[in-house]
Amino acid sequence: MPDRPNVLFIMTDQHRGDALGIDPNCPRDEDGFPLVHTPNLNRFVERGAHFSRAYTPAPSSIPARRCLWTGQTPATNGCTNWTTAEWSFPHTLPGELSKAGYQTRLTGKTHSLPPRNHFGFDHIVLHAGLNGLDDDYSEWLAERSDGDFDEISHGCGRNSWDPRPSHLPEHLHPTNWTTNRALEFFEKRDPTRPFFHAVSYVRPHQPFDPPQTYWDQYIDREIPAPAVGDWAEETYRQHVPDVPATDAWCADLSPTTVHRARAGYYASVTHIDHQINRLLGKLRTTGELENTVVIFTADHGEMLGDHLLWRKTYAYEGSARVPLLVRFPDGMEPPTDERIDDPVGLEDVMPTVLDLAGAPIPETVEGRSLLPLIEGRSEWRECYHGEHGPIYHDENAMQYVVTDEHKYIWNSVTGEELLFDLAEDPDELSDESTNPAYEGTLSSLRDRLIGHLEDHPLDYTNGERLTPRVIDRPPV
């Protein structure tokens, strides 16, 4: 591989780890084939690796992205929950790459604060996907609509489970706009420097509003219903409203509504997959794909009704596990068809890219480069830790540790525990925390969480036991 390859970093928002055709837990259709159609992303493994146990350190946009761009854990960079604090970091991935001579550009969503904060990028073309913010996409669309319509004139909210096909022609959809602006960068970039181009799609985050063509691909198909464990009935049934708001975090919706929401969500994923093929096609045409590493991931997932839950911030697989694929250049002899089950996280992206670029990794970075793991020359972490403070309810905060087989979740407000055997129960239907057969696993993972929290600023442990704390819930 060249000493300084280009890096195309593709990111989606609210993308479940199993919403990828290549994923072993991808829902299956009536014939047993993967339901989610992502043929272009699936092919990454022909020249790279799929990380089947990739997780977000904090499953909501702002804290997850802070960890991604700094290589740090939520507690270190001061964001274990939703925050309005301005982004100001001594070291960021785009900043370090700029120092190393890379041309850095982000097209699409940042969720940085303030919204136009570049946090190290040379240039940003912004689609924020936020109400009340005039970004580059909304200004572009306003010029073409003469002010008659905007991105969400269809009436579906930014966090709504209520789906419908987009009212926009496909060429005006924000997913296509993001791709088109990215293609312009490839055409006009500085050819004397390698590039780091982050293409950050707002979808499949709500609204679940794919173009009609993609909606039609899923709406009449059999789609598996959400997974709801017995433990979830006990934990969340009390929070189910009789008449849920369209942005409800907890809701027991009709099978028809859930089917439509899931169809709209998976259709948005397929739409993005086809747009990614346009990006790869441009690089192939210009001859640059053979000198470009492509990385694909997301900031967090989406519950889609699993365990009576919607949206994110939870430790459960739908919310906390994300897709992570790496495709190496054609001129390199990488591992092929490799699935890596070791637990990895978003803070590992920064040191991985800097390692690829031959750039120094700052001491502030806590993540680890994935390259030794891909090449089979590294002992890896035995478990991964993530967390989130309370958002939708005063008591729904969590801490979790996950291995390649088990997950332990601790509610940091109530002290309640959950234990899942992911190898046998990937849908997390059965809580094993009171099962005597799992007593040793429960104790071991609890001790590992205590170890992770010993220096936590919120004093969750005295080093011997976990101590719940009541935490102020920020306004959202």
The answer to whether 133 touches 86, Cβ cutoff 8 Å, is no
> How large a percentage of the chain has pLDDT more than 70?
98
Distance of CA 462 to the CA centre of its chain: 32
Q: What does the block give as tokens for 214?
A: 């993609």
For the chain, domains (ranges, CATH) are 6-383 (3.40.720.10)
pLDDT at 2: 56
Report d(CA 261, CA 163) in Å as an integer: 5
pLDDT average, residue stretch 148-168: 95
- 439 has pLDDT over 80: yes
pLDDT at 379: 87
**Of 181, 178, 167, nearest in space to 211 by CA:** 167
pLDDT at 185: 97
Q: Which DSSP symbol is given to 170?
A: G
- 440: burial class by Cβ within 10 Å (0-12, 13-18, 19+)? exposed
Between CA 389 and CA 311, with CA 17 as vertex, the angle to 5 degrees is: 45
Whether the full predicted model's pTM is greater than 0.75, yes or no, is yes
Report d(CA 308, CA 253) in Å as an integer: 8
**Of 110, 66, 83, nearest in space to 346 by CA:** 66
List pLDDT tens digits, range 321-346.
999 999 998 767 766 678 999 999 99
Q: Which DSSP symbol is given to 224?
A: P
**Of 401, 418, 404, 399, nearest in space to 467 by CA:** 399
Q: How high is the mean pLDDT of the chain?
A: 95
List pLDDT tens digits, range 282-299.
999 999 999 999 999 999
Strand partners, 42: none
Q: What does the block give as tokens for 236?
A: 């969340």
Report d(CA 271, CA 165) in Å as an integer: 12
Amino acid at 279: L
- 370 has pLDDT over 80: yes
Report d(CA 151, CA 142) in Å as an integer: 9
**Of 160, 249, 258, 245, nearest in space to 209 by CA:** 160
**Of 355, 333, 287, 367, nearest in space to 3 by CA:** 355
- 307 has pLDDT over 90: yes
Q: Which DSSP symbol is given to 472?
A: P
List pLDDT tens digits, range 96-116.
999 999 999 999 999 999 989
The answer to whether 208 touches 261, Cβ cutoff 8 Å, is yes
> How large a percentage of the chain has pLDDT more than 90?
91
The answer to whether 12 touches 203, Cβ cutoff 8 Å, is yes
Q: What does the block give as tokens for 388?
A: 């989130």
- What torsion do the CA atoms of 168, 174, 180, 184 make, to the nearest 10 degrees? 140
List pLDDT tens digits, range 170-196.
999 999 999 999 999 999 999 999 999
Report d(CA 16, CA 316) in Å as an integer: 11
pLDDT at 150: 93
pLDDT at 28: 96
**Of 269, 356, 348, 367, nearest in space to 18 by CA:** 269
Distance of CA 284 to the CA centre of its chain: 26
Sign of CA dihedral 463, 469, 475, 476: positive
Cis peptide before 27 (omega within 30 of 0): no
pLDDT at 19: 98
Q: Which pLDDT band, with edges at 50, 70 and 90, does 1 fall under?
A: very low
Q: Which pLDDT band, with edges at 50, 70 and 90, does 475 fall under?
A: low
Report d(CA 34, CA 25) in Å as an integer: 9
The answer to whether 57 touches 74, Cβ cutoff 8 Å, is yes
The answer to whether 320 touches 12, Cβ cutoff 8 Å, is no
